[in-house]
Structure 1
Amino acid sequence: MNPLLSTEGLTVHYGGVRANTGISITADAGEVVGLIGPNGAGKTTFVDAVTGFTPAQGTVTVAGRRVDTLAPHQRRRAGLARTWQAGELFLDLTVRQNIAVAAGRRPLRNLWNDLTGRREATHETDAVMAMFGLEPVADRRPGELSLGRQKIVGVARALAGTVRVVLLDEPAAGLDTDESAAFGEHVRTIAGSGPAVLLIDHDMTLVAGICDRVYVLDYGAVIATGTPAEVLADPAVRTAYLGSELVP
């Protein structure tokens, strides 16, 4: 059975600099896979390469289908979704509208219909909001919500539509301990509903608590892989993170 996400030899060049070198990873249905590494290790570059936002060599497959020759919106239609570090929510739209924009196969048309009031929220939108408990804030704007709730809205929007794989790029950044723990429960709920989840984060407590497997990047290459306990005990990983706090 094919993994839901597979990359083989993914390599990204910026001029003469290799930001990613031959990265090969897999993520299966229902699995939360961590991707960690020190700042500048190439984690976000990898997400950009997988989702088509930066040119790369190598292959990317989703549920056995090669998508590395497709444009970002085509990869999204193939079931490959992502979040962004900055959130990228539409601040003038409600929570419901932010999620509805991403639902369906024509997001720009969805946006126009939402803005003009021509379109009711789809069952899909309602289902995603219910999964994350967002119904009470459905008609509020993102700026009225806590940072933790805004992060949840961003993930909910990524899950609107057909999703086989979701890549979460530092979703817990800025969250306190309780918010991060609550967010981790949502991530496990996502995986439990079927998709593969690739989680990038610096919160080692979160990573150790919810990830089934972890890959570690340093200078754009994978230096370790295994369970959270195995990689966090690896001397090479600790050397890469020298000066940073790691969960024992």
Structure 2
Amino acid sequence: MPDSATTVAAPDAEPLLRTRGLSVHYGGVTANADIDLTVGAGEIVGLIGPNGAGKTTFVDAVTGFARSSGEVTLSGRRIDRAGPHRRRRAGMARTWQAGELFADLTVAQNLAVAVQRVGLRAMVLDVVNGSRPPAGVVEKALDVVGLTDVADRRPDELTLGQQKLVGVARALVGDTGLVLLDEPAAGLDTHESREFGGELRRIAATGVGILLIDHDMSLVLDVCDRLYVLDFGRVIAAGPPAEITNDPAVVAAYLGSAEVQAESDSGADDPAPDTSAGTVMTPVESTTTDETTTESTTTEETR
């Protein structure tokens, strides 16, 4: 469970992020259906569910990369009609599952790219004066994730855990108040995942709201204040981690049957169950991830 360093928003405070009835349809297929979700300032909220449940589609919709209906508000202000770049400027950022870093740039330069202005005027200024991010923004983001001392290194000089944190820092650079993390711990071992979770708690303690999607249930249960569980695009449960892990609907849809977990706990050497009969694998066993773009999400998320 989250430690006391995490700052949780007061119950009566306006959530940093709120969605009401958020739905995404691709032709006759419903990828997200009437999702109501909140994330408070300084809060880590987990969004979990089986592969294809609609998690990445939800992030795409919230950040403006997928057309949706319903409401999305940031700090009480509706942004669901704004484009992705305007939502970014409003303080909302995201990571991508395949968010590779620029190998030929330093860590600081990777973050500087994230605040690079676009447009004709920006291009002219870049030619005349060179491209420089606002003073202090890169340093502040690196300090938040504890990577100030590697600012001048290149990604291949870092551990995998540090590379993941650079990706988070790239989302945090600038005036980011809310960050949506899509599978940020993929590929990390147990020790690296635990350290990564500690950094997420430290980030949340600064007041940043975090929506976390990940299949690493040890990480999710350790750092999240609340969880939402998606199945076939609908929220089937929401609440504190301890409550969610004991919810029969969640166990059946995502965490695996009691019989399967009992076999796993006992270390039985019996052959794997026949998944064609509908047995649900645990998140640790699953190797497929949600797609990272709106186009591929259309097919993967709605199968």
Q: Same fold (TM over 0.5)?
A: yes
Q: 1:212 & 1:13 partners in 2: Cα distance?
A: 30
Residue of 178, 203, 206 corresponding to 2:216 = 203
Count of paired positions: 244
In 2, Cα distance between equivalents of 1:192 and 1:177: 23
Matched, 1:101 2:113: yes
Q: Distance in 2 between matches of 1:135 and 1:192?
A: 18
Instruction: Please give the alpha-carbon distance, in whole angstroms, between the structure 2 residues aligned to 1:121 and 1:142.
Output: 23
Post-superposition shift, 1:222? Answer: 0.0
Deviation of 1:113 after TM superposition, in Å, equals 5.0
The yes-or-no answer on 1:74 pairing with 2:95 is no
Q: Percent identity?
A: 61
Q: Which residue of 2 aligns with 1:222?
A: 235
Q: Partner amino acid for 2:178?
A: V
Amino acid at match of 1:232: T
Report the aligned-residue RMSD: 2.2
2:148 matched residue in structure 1: 135
Instruction: Supply the distance in 2 between the matched residues of 1:182 and 1:6 (Cα, whole angstroms).
Output: 29
* Closer, same or farther: CA 120–26 of 1 in aligned 2, 3 Å: closer
Supply the distance in 2 between the matched residues of 1:217 and 1:31 (Cα, whole angstroms). 19
Q: Aligned residue for 2:198?
A: 185
Give the corresponding residue for 1:126. Answer: 139
| 2-structure distance, mates of 1:121, 1:148 | 27
Relative to 1, partners in 2 of residues 1:88 and 1:67: Cα closer, same or farther, differing over 3 Å? Answer: farther
Secondary structure at the aligned position of 2:249 is classed as helix
One-letter identity of the residue aligned with 1:211: C
Within the alignment, does 1:54 sit opposite 2:70 as a pair?
Answer: no
Which residue number corresponds to residue 25 of structure 1? 37
Q: Does 1:64 align with 2:76?
A: yes
Describe the SS at the equivalent of 1:38: coil
In the other structure, the counterpart of 1:163 is 176
Q: Which runs of 5 or more structure 2 residues have no equivalent in the other structure?
A: 1-12, 257-279, 285-303
TM-score, structure 2 as length reference:
0.76
Higher fraction of strand:
1
Deviation of the 1:161 alpha carbon: 0.6
Q: What CA deviation, in whole Å up to 9, does each residue of 1:58-94 have, x standing for no partner? A: 1100000101000000000011111111124223321
Q: Decide whether aligned partners of structure 1 residues 49 and 67 sit closer, same or farther in structure 2, where only a CA change above 3 A counts.
A: same
Distance 1:120 1:19 in 2: 38
In structure 2, what is the Cα distance between the partners aligned to 1:49 and 1:145?
A: 32
Is the 2:14–2:75 contact (alpha carbons within 8 Å) kept by the matching residues of 1? yes
Equivalent-residue separation in structure 2 for 1:187 and 1:225 (angstroms): 21
CA distance in 2, matches of 1:120, 1:200: 29
Moved more, 120-129 or 77-86: 120-129
Q: Which has the larger radius of gyration?
A: 2
User: What is the DSSP-based 3-state SS (H/G/I as helix, E as strand, rest coil) of the residue aligned with 1:54?
Assistant: coil
Deviation per CA, 1:22-77, whole angstroms, max 9, x where unpaired? 00101111111110001000000000000000101111000001010000000000
Summarize the Cα distance change of 1:121–1:240 in structure 2 as closer, same or farther, 3 Å threshold. same
Please state how far the C-alpha of 1:133 moved relative to its aligned partner: 2.5
* Whole-angstrom distance in 2 between the partners of 1:184 and 1:13: 33
TM-score (norm 1): 0.92
